[in-house]
């Protein structure tokens, strides 16, 4: 079957899933068919391994065996459907898969199914979906199996509002392939993606490097010691693990973690090649001390992470929105780009045209290529052209491999064309590290879109915002059944006094608890002989830390991972969260409320300018929270979903305003251009 026919089949399965109350949204039905797809294809892979072993007169032990094989529980002999099918999936299939162990492959399957779930609630509709997928041959004659191609086929059929929640972790295969070919990883080197998503870059790197493996030992190295990734969110983490396994990487080194929580000052993991597309327009708080140039903007933090994660001689290709190139006022951006030019060779910047990421994002993007081989002397810019007669790429007429042909020919030359030019590093320094350079022989007048284009752009922005509004509304109106219980804070928090005697030659981290809810940050690192008070206390990750004096002014926060083991004096209070009653992430959000601040204000006593938090009064404060800790976790998921979509809404709101602002200039151009 071709990729297009596979996508048609899966789209019909998606239409069926939309009829189920548990999978009405894109995120839900994509997760649902993803685990179904994995189990079907994994059995086909195991069939091949078994046949090969039989030919070699060897025994092959299946990782998924007996009643839990796809063909057995979906087969017509059992023909499970309705409540029987749901009961089997929920009570037998998922518990079995989650508990697999004994070898790395089984452990990975267990990890996948511990991070996903069956979301369908109607066993009869699930049966229909299973029947559709059972009739699909996922191994195409025209291409090797690739999840990314299947999802691209599905995305082309979705509305913009459906694509948006999924787009943040997807890179078009064409762009991922080009970046991989230009970085050109070699056998024996490592490849890393700090924003792994569905592992599009790592699978492209595997297919690029596989012909280099000539021996069994070479293949073992590719399988186990080459590909590394990190991913924060459950769905893209699961898709990435599946994609790598189904493409032949049996034991992928993918960790489910927050890449930005890693402290860059003592980073141990270094890689030969980095290929990545960080999420755009994200913001984070509370981890700024992990970075040499602190910022709340994730894209610049990911650039710093990639720079510090490269080995000597290492290569990196990274996708960025234009804002990163333009910005020369924010010190975190300018200092990061200054280090990039001073310590790395930023040799190419590829400017992608409008629609290159269609239909995933309308944001203009660039690809930065750099090596850790010394300072930048000059930067080769290339502006990828749009075919004649077209204004931009679209989801129906997307960017293809052929559009990169000219650039590949020019890659190792200094030739200047109407699409390529060279800028010296000195010119970048003169512009305070702005990388916003246009072709020197091209007019500086900005070409405005025509009337039809601006209307389409405004409508596209509105549709994206409308989709986000719909998702926010779903979060706000989502009903969660829960029973509340009232506790005093003394039941939820345990005071810790982990004493330490300061040693002169030891280096210690000291912290500052900022007022107005701005969290806990690194104050400094100091040798013990520079610390006056020798008896102090050690704090731990996830604990609540409060200033006795300024708690009433919001000087409290949750200790982040990078400040675990820091020291404090007796002027701060350290509380451990009772995890039997309270989800730590839920509690972290609770501390951001006015109610919690009111607890601190109401528990402070003393003169107006020297009021201290009185612990007895603070711990006697009462609060109602959901009794079930699992419900608290669901509420945390809701809050995180709202926060993400709110930040995206702000970004797209800015795009919407800029496009509306251009309506009058576009009309004026039409008037005075004699086009009415």
Among 315-324, 366-375, 423-432, the range scoring the smallest mean pLDDT is 315-324
Confidence of residue 327 (pLDDT cuts 50, 70, 90): confident
Residues 6+ apart with CB under 8 A from 317: 179, 180, 182, 183, 274, 275, 276, 367, 368, 369
Residue 90 belongs to domain with CATH number: 1.20.1260.30
Q: Which residues contact 574 (CB under 8 A, 6 or more apart)?
A: 495, 496, 497, 498, 537, 539, 540, 543, 544, 545, 568
**CATH code of the domain covering residue 546:** 3.90.220.20
Domain count, the chain: 2
pLDDT at 443: 46
Mean pLDDT in residue range 499-511: 91
Task: Say whether the peptide bond before residue 359 is cis (omega within 30 degrees of 0).
Answer: yes
- On whether residue 25 sits in a domain, the answer given is yes
Of residues 89 and 166, the one with the higher pLDDT is 89
pTM: 0.66
Instruction: Find the mean pLDDT for residues 196-224.
Output: 92
Q: Which of 278-287, 500-509, 656-665 has the lowest mean pLDDT?
A: 656-665
Give residue 236's pLDDT band: very low, low, confident or very high (50, 70, 90).
confident
Residue 651 CA to residue 654 CA, distance in Å, equals 5
| H or E element, residue 598 | helix 594-602
* pLDDT, average across residues 538-565: 90
- Does residue 614 lie within any of the structural domains? yes
The span from the first CA to the last CA of the chain, in angstroms, equals: 51
Percent of the chain's residues with pLDDT above 70: 84
From residue 427, alpha-carbon distances to 367, 383, 415, 436, 482 in Å are: 20, 19, 19, 11, 61
pLDDT in tens, 569-586: 988 999 999 999 998 888
Question: 646: alpha, beta or left, given left = phi > 0 and alpha = psi -120 to 50?
Answer: alpha
Do residues 204 and 173 touch, judged by C-beta distance below 8 A? yes
Rounded average pLDDT over 465-485: 72
Beta bridge partners of 318: 276, 368
How many Cα atoms occupy the beta-carbon half-sphere of 378 within 13 Å? 8
Predicted pLDDT at 142:
44
What confidence tier does 279 reach under pLDDT thresholds 50, 70, 90? confident
87, 120, 143 — which closes off a domain? Answer: 143
Higher confidence at residue 43 or residue 457?
43
Most confident of 365-379, 395-409, 495-509: 365-379
Categorise residue 554: left if φ over 0, alpha if ψ from -120 to 50, beta otherwise.
Answer: left
Q: How far, in Å, CA of 139 to CA of 144, rounded?
A: 7
Q: How many CA atoms lie within 13 A of 477 on its CB side?
A: 6
The pLDDT score that the predictor gives to residue 444 is: 45
294 band by pLDDT with thresholds 50, 70 and 90: confident
Domain end call among 628, 645, 660: 628
Evaluate if residue 143 carries a pLDDT over 60: no
Q: Domain residues for 549? A: 484-628
Judged against a pLDDT cut of 70, whether residue 448 lies above it is answered with no
Confidence (pLDDT) at 144 = 46
Asked, for residue 197, whether it belongs to a domain, the answer is: no
> According to the model, what pLDDT value does residue 141 have?
45
Mean pLDDT of 246-267: 87
Helix (H, G, I), strand (E, B) or coil at 313: strand
Q: Is residue 474 part of a domain?
A: no
Residue 572 resides in a domain: yes
pLDDT at 306 over 70: yes
Decide if 222 contacts 186 (C-beta within 8 A). no
> What is the pLDDT, as a whole number, of residue 446?
46
What average pLDDT does this structure show over 302-324?
A: 93
Q: What is the mean pLDDT of residues 68-87?
A: 91
Rounded to whole angstroms, the Cα distance separating 173 from 176 reads: 5
Query: Does 137 have pLDDT greater than 80?
Result: no
- Reply yes or no on whether the pLDDT at 89 is more than 80: yes
pLDDT-wise least confident of 120-134, 611-625, 650-664: 650-664
- 321 falls within a domain: no
> Best-predicted range by mean pLDDT among 106-115, 264-273, 303-312, 516-525?
303-312
Spell out a b/e string for 430-460, using b for 16 or more CB atoms within 10 Å of the CB, else e.
eeebbbebebeeeeeeeeebeeebbebbbeb
Q: Evaluate whether residue 57 is within a structural domain.
A: yes
pLDDT at 36: 92
Share of the chain above pLDDT 90, in %: 38
pLDDT tier at 65 (50, 70, 90 boundaries)? confident
Q: Could you report the per-residue pLDDT of 21-32, keeping only the tens digit for each?
A: 888 877 788 889
Examine the pLDDT at 493 and tell me if it is beyond 60.
yes
Residue 445: pLDDT band by 50, 70, 90 thresholds? Answer: very low
**d(Cα 224, Cα 19) in Å, to the nearest integer?**
42
Burial of 106 (0-12, 13-18, 19+ CB in 10 A): middle
Q: Residue 316: its pLDDT value, please? A: 98
Of 143, 166, 200, the one marking the end of a domain is 143
CA distance 547 to 570: 9
Question: Is residue 88 in some structural domain?
Answer: yes
User: Which of 40-44, 81-85, 111-115, 581-585 reaches the highest mean pLDDT?
Assistant: 81-85
């Amino acid at each position: 079957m071709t990729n297009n026919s596979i996508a048609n089949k899966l789209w019909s399965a998606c239409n069926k899933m939309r009829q189920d109350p548990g999978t009405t949204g894109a995120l839900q039905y994509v997760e649902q068919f993803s685990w179904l797809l994995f189990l079907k294809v994994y059995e086909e892979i195991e069939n091949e391994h078994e046949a090969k072993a039989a030919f070699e007169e060897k025994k092959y032990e299946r990782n998924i065996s007996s009643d839990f094989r796809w063909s057995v529980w979906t087969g017509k002999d059992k023909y499970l459907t309705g409540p029987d099918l749901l009961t089997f999936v929920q009570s037998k299939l998922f518990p079995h898969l989650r508990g697999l162990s004994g070898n790395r492959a089984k452990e990975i399957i267990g990890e996948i199914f511990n991070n996903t779930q069956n979301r369908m609630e109607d066993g009869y509709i699930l049966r229909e979906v299973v029947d559709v997928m059972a009739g699909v041959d996922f191994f195409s004659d025209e291409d090797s199996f690739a999840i990314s191609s299947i999802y691209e086929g599905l995305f082309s059929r979705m509305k913009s509002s459906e694509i948006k929640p999924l787009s943040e972790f997807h890179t078009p295969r064409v762009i991922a392939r080009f970046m991989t070919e230009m970085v050109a990883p070699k056998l024996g080197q490592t490849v890393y993606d700090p924003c792994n998503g569905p592992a599009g870059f790592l699978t492209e790197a595997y297919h690029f490097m596989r012909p280099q493996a000539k021996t069994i030992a070479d293949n073992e190295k590719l399988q186990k010691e080459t590909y590394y990734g990190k991913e924060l969110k459950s769905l893209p983490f699961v898709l990435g693990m599946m994609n790598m396994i189904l493409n032949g990487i049996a034991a992928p080194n993918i960790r489910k973690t927050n890449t930005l929580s890693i402290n860059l000052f003592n980073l141990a993991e270094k890689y030969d090649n980095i290929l990545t597309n960080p999420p755009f327009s994200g913001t984070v708080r509370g981890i700024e001390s992990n970075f040499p140039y602190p910022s709340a903007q994730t894209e610049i933090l990911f650039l710093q992470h990639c720079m510090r994660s490269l080995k000597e001689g290492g290569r990196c290709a990274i996708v960025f929105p234009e804002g990163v190139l333009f910005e020369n006022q924010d010190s975190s951006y300018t200092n990061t780009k200054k280090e990039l030019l001073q310590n790395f060779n930023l040799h190419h910047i590829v400017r992608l045209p409008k629609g290159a990421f269609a239909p995933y994002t309308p944001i203009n993007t660039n690809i930065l290529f750099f090596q850790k081989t010394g300072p930048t002397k000059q930067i080769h810019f290339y502006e990828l052209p749009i075919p004649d007669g077209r204004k931009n790429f679209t989801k129906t007429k997307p960017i293809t491999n052929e559009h990169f042909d000219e650039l590949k020919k020019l890659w190792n030359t200094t030739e200047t064309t109407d699409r390529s030019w060279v800028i010296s590093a000195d010119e970048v320094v003169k512009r305070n590290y702005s990388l916003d350079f246009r072709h020197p022989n091209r007019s500086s007048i900005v070409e405005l879109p025509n009337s039809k284009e601006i209307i389409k752009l405004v409508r596209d922005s509105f549709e994206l915002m409308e989709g986000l509004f719909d998702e926010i509304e779903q979060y706000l109106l989502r009903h969660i059944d829960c029973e509340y219980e009232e506790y005093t804070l003394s039941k939820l928090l345990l005071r810790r006094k982990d004493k330490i005697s300061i040693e002169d030659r030891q280096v210690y981290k000291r912290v500052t608890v900022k007022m107005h809810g701005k969290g806990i940050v690194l104050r400094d690192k100091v040798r013990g002989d520079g610390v006056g008070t020798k008896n102090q206390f050690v704090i731990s990750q996830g604990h609540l830390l409060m200033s006795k004096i300024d708690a009433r002014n919001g000087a409290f926060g949750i200790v982040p991972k990078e400040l675990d083991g820091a020291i404090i004096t007796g002027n701060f209070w350290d509380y451990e969260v009772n995890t039997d009653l309270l989800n730590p992430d839920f509690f972290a959000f609770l501390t951001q409320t006015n109610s919690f601040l009111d607890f601190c204000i109401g528990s402070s006593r003393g003169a107006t300018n020297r009021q201290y938090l009185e612990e007895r009064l603070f711990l006697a404060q009462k609060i109602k929270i959901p009794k079930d800790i699992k419900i608290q976790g669901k509420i945390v998921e809701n809050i995180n979903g709202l926060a993400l979509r709110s930040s995206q809404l702000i970004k797209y709101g800015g795009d919407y305003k800029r496009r509306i602002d251009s309506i009058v200039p576009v009309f004026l151009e039409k008037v005075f251009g004699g086009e009415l």
